[in-house]
Chains A and B, each alone.
Chain A
Amino acid sequence: MIVVIDYNVGNVKSVCNAFQHIGCEAELSCEPGAIEEASGLVLPGVAAFGFAVSALGPLAELIKGLASKGKPLLGICVGYQMLFEESCEYGRHEGLGLIAGSVVPIPPGRVIPHIGWNLVELPQDMDLFAGLGKEKHFYFAHSYCAEVSDEKTKIAYTDYGFELAASVQKDNIYGVQFHPEKSGKHGLKALKNFDDICERNSNKGT
């Protein structure tokens, strides 16, 4: 069972709906017990960074601990941004610090927010994108972006007049700046891949 962390921010339900639509077992929960038992965790997020971090509260430490011990974790949008060390959206806020880097405003000189479908180059060694080919369009909606400083992190880029980190992976920790749950069939395929990753990881442990 995948647990989508329910922490009082907008549109967490859509992620759960998407998993259920493709036949994956997923539930919304903020119960520490369920989170510990889960085969994998999804940290969604439609909110401003600071609001999301404070809404997550003490669950942050729990999620961080479980991810450090190998439980697959997928951060989406602000949930993705929260994987990094800090953000400067409406003031300075600390993130989970699971991946080295910081969240900064999208550089000026283009339309901001970055809203819409952009083409993401998919590295073949990122298992989140297995079976999706070299590049696909995904739906983005954000004004801040991650500057990844961790050299061991795999990165999928999209072109928004600069190389924007659309997705990262560091071991069992995955993040997507775009919304797979809102990116039609290719987004659903990425979620299915995450479910497979969780399943493989659970089987490995037993």
Chain B
Amino acid sequence: MLTKRIIPCLDVKDNRVVKGVNFLNLRDAGDPVELGTRYSDEGADELVFLDITATIRSRKTIVELVEKVAENVFIPFTVGGGIQTVEQMDTLLRSGADKVSVNTAAVRNPNLLSEAARRFGNQCVVLAIDARRSEVHLDKWQVCIKAGTEPTDIDAVEWAAQGEHLGAGEILLTSMDADGTKAGYDNDLNRAISDAVNIPVIASGGAGKLEHLYDAIAVGHADAILMASITHFGNYNIRQIKEYLRDRGIPMNL
């Protein structure tokens, strides 16, 4: 039976892991390769590295980081942040990344998803969606781009379904309302999207207690859960998280 995945997320800025609240107020959380290795040793199922600066200069740094991670970590990892072209994806995959995630570039040019899927296979292509609950319709979420700074009028559930159709193999779904708050995942959002698509959904944003992780799977129907603050700052290690979820009946690779 396929297990549910526990995925620490490492937001990278100037070659350091950082973590903010609601995408702001960044706090240092260590060296990316060291932290990635530690999580792998603790039993993480995958890692995600997000280049949160995504400038021309950081592009080169992130490729070097990918190479280093690939030499030291033998679990899958995804790289995202500012990726705009199939060539950039190719560079990252050839440097050792297993998957690439796209967000803003896919919103602007949805064909990027199909091109990437045809070339690399859809299992390599992760569509990252940053979603914010609509102030007008509380059961709807709007897609935000450019690291959450620019709201669009695109409906997150519709965009997820379209992304699947175009060739995304996975959805990395971040609730901007919940991100970094440690108050729990937005499981209305997680469930709305998980139930609307047939590809795996990785729930992200809001984990603070072990119960939140259980809820993301049991209530939010997520296939995998992403976390940052809860593990970076030493509240829990991966093994504790997995043992807790296993004891509550969730299939885990332990």
Q: Which residues of A are at the interface with B, using a C-beta cutoff of 8 A? A: 10-14, 17-18, 21, 46-48, 51, 78, 89-90, 111-119, 137, 139-143, 159-160, 179, 181-185, 187-188
* Closest chain A CB from B45 CB (angstroms): 6
Q: Does B122 contact A (CB under 8 A)?
A: yes
Known: A10-B90, A13-B96, A141-B98. A111 touches B199 (CB 8 A): yes
Q: Which of B2, B40, B90, B198 contacts A116 (CB 8 A)?
A: B2
How large, as a class, is the contact surface on chain B? 35 or more
Assembled-state Cα–Cα distance A88/B41 (Å): 38
A-B contact count (CB 8 A): 115
Q: Which of B5, B40, B93 contacts A184 (CB 8 A)?
A: B40
B76 near A179 with CB under 8 A, answer: yes
B96 near A113 with CB under 8 A, answer: no
Known: A13-B94, A48-B119, A141-B123. A115 touches B200 (CB 8 A): yes
Residues of B within 8 A of A183 (CB): 74-75
Q: Which residue of A lies closest to B44 (CB)?
A: A184
Residues of B within 8 A of A185 (CB): 74
Contact with A along B105-122 (1 / 0, CB 8 A): 000000000000111111
B117 near A48 with CB under 8 A, answer: yes
B5 near A116 with CB under 8 A, answer: yes
Residues of A within 8 A of B122 (CB): 113, 143
Residues of A within 8 A of B237 (CB): none
Residues of A within 8 A of B199 (CB): 111-113
Q: Does B138 contact A (CB under 8 A)?
A: no
Contact with A along B218-252 (1 / 0, CB 8 A): 00000110000000000000000000000000000
